[in-house]
């Protein structure tokens, strides 16, 4: 190719299908300098010979090399990555593949979980697996305090303790009051974690045993109406010859964090039972 043909930066940009902004960035990095700069006008010109260099840069970039790495490669006389560099990139690719495969599986699990909830009848019988939870027990005046408690107290403390939660998420509350009370609710918030950490003044880690049989019920709406659903659920349990053998859980699926309309808040009440 002849070097007598000179292309303005806009023409070179159009020919190579790369933005002028990118070409200027490569120039600042001293990765691809213009063939010529007109001192009086500041116009930048590129030669046809620079097509090969730019193609090489873009090829290495597509292979995952950073611009700084590419600059180092072009400082070498071969203009090619070494075998060691290539093996490093292959290892990085394998790590990314493993990460994405794991993420994909988690997304499938979350999707399956959401589908099961959507298909779930108002009442259903399920088993609840044994899990590890981070828990916080306190007294709240009303359920209106539950959201701020999670956002302002429990969440930041779990983050400080570096708690790792499964992607599908599972959090629930247990009321420890012996009878229904609209105020001064003795409540324990539990959120599933992958492994137990060190207890703090706010968070305690504990193992929750498996529940072989639980009657579950969908509850839509504000948490203050839980007692209405509890009454309906207890009637269902009695009618179907079950007895309660553990503390009921209120599991939160949709709430103020993702639904502005309180009537769309979805909770699942889970009551451990056994046949009479």
**Do 113 and 191 lie in a common domain?**
no
**Do 18 and 68 lie in a common domain?**
yes
**Do 38 and 87 lie in a common domain?**
no
Give the chain's end-to-end CA distance (angstroms, integer). 91
Query: Does 76 score more than 80 pLDDT?
Result: no
pLDDT, mean of residues 206-232: 90
Task: Kindly give the interhelix angle for 50-62 and 67-75, rounded to the nearest 10 degrees.
Answer: 130
* Band of residue 197 on the pLDDT scale cut at 50, 70, 90: very high
Query: Does 119 score more than 80 pLDDT?
Result: no
CATH number for position 219: 3.20.80.10
**Do 156 and 231 lie in a common domain?**
yes
**Do 201 and 265 lie in a common domain?**
yes
Residue 271 lies in a domain: yes
Residue 155 lies in a domain: yes
Q: What pTM did the predictor assign?
A: 0.56
Average pLDDT, whole number, for the chain?
Answer: 88
Alpha helices (H) in the chain, listed in sequence order: 9-16, 20-28, 50-62, 67-75, 83-119, 146-149, 155-160, 226-239
Query: Does 196 score more than 70 pLDDT?
Result: yes
Residue 113 lies in a domain: yes
Q: Of the candidates 113, 101, 31, which has an alpha carbon nearest to the alpha carbon of residue 66?
A: 31
Query: Does 69 score more than 50 pLDDT?
Result: yes
* Band of residue 143 on the pLDDT scale cut at 50, 70, 90: confident
* Band of residue 160 on the pLDDT scale cut at 50, 70, 90: very high
Residue 1 lies in a domain: no
Residue 72 lies in a domain: yes
Residue 207 lies in a domain: yes
CA dihedral 116, 133, 222, 182 (to 10 degrees): 140
Residue 13 lies in a domain: yes
Query: Does 252 score more than 50 pLDDT?
Result: yes
Contact, 199 vs 151, CB < 8 A? no
**Do 138 and 263 lie in a common domain?**
yes
Alpha carbon of residue 157 to chain centroid: 18
**Do 138 and 191 lie in a common domain?**
yes
Query: For the chain, what percent of residues have pLDDT higher than 90?
Result: 48
Structural domains of the chain, count = 3
Question: How many CB atoms neighbour CB 239 within 10 A?
Answer: 8
Domain limits for position 104: 82-119
**Do 25 and 154 lie in a common domain?**
no
Most confident of 27-41, 87-101, 197-211: 197-211
Of residues 1 and 28, the one with the higher pLDDT is 28
**Do 268 and 164 lie in a common domain?**
yes
**Do 105 and 71 lie in a common domain?**
no
Residue 103 lies in a domain: yes
* Band of residue 2 on the pLDDT scale cut at 50, 70, 90: very low
CATH number for position 37: 1.10.1660.10
pLDDT score at 46: 92
pLDDT, mean of residues 46-57: 89
pLDDT score at 116: 65
pLDDT score at 207: 95
**Do 13 and 96 lie in a common domain?**
no
pLDDT score at 179: 77
* Band of residue 1 on the pLDDT scale cut at 50, 70, 90: very low
Contact, 166 vs 194, CB < 8 A? yes
**Do 147 and 269 lie in a common domain?**
yes
Contact, 2 vs 47, CB < 8 A? no
Give exposure, 139-161, as e/b (b: 16+ Cβ within 10 Å). Answer: ebeebeebeebbeeebeebbeeb
pLDDT, mean of residues 202-223: 93
pLDDT score at 272: 94
Query: Does 34 score more than 70 pLDDT?
Result: yes
Task: Mark which of 45, 62, 78 sits at the end of a domain.
Answer: 78
pLDDT score at 85: 87
């Amino acid at each position: 190719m002849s070097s007598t043909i000179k292309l303005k930066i806009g023409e070179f940009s159009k020919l190579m299908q790369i933005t002028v902004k990118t070409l200027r960035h490569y120039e600042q990095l001293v990765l691809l300098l213009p063939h010529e700069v007109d001192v009086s006008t500041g116009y930048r010109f590129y030669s046809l010979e620079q097509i090969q260099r730019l193609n090489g840069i873009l090829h290495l970039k597509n292979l995952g090399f950073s611009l700084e790495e590419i600059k180092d490669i072009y400082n070498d006389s071969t203009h090619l990555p070494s075998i060691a560099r290539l093996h490093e990139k292959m290892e990085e690719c394998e790590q990314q593949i493993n990460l994405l495969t794991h993420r994909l599986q988690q997304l499938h699990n979350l999707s399956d979980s959401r589908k099961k909830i959507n298909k779930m009848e108002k009442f259903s019988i399920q088993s609840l697996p044994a899990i590890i939870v981070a828990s916080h027990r306190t007294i709240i005046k009303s359920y209106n305090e539950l959201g701020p408690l999670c956002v302002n107290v429990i969440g930041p403390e779990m983050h400080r303790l570096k708690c790792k939660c499964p992607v599908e998420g599972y959090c629930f509350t247990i009321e420890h009051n012996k009878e229904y009370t609209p105020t001064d609710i003795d409540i324990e918030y539990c959120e599933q974690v992958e492994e137990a950490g060190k207890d703090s003044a706010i968070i305690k880690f504990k193992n929750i045993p498996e529940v072989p049989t639980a009657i579950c019920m969908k509850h839509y709406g504000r948490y203050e109406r839980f007692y209405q659903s509890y009454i309906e659920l207890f009637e269902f349990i009695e009618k179907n010859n079950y007895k309660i053998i553990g503390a009921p859980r209120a599991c939160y699926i949709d709430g103020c964090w993702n639904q502005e309309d309180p009537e769309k808040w979805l909770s699942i009440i889970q009551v451990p039972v056994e046949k009479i």
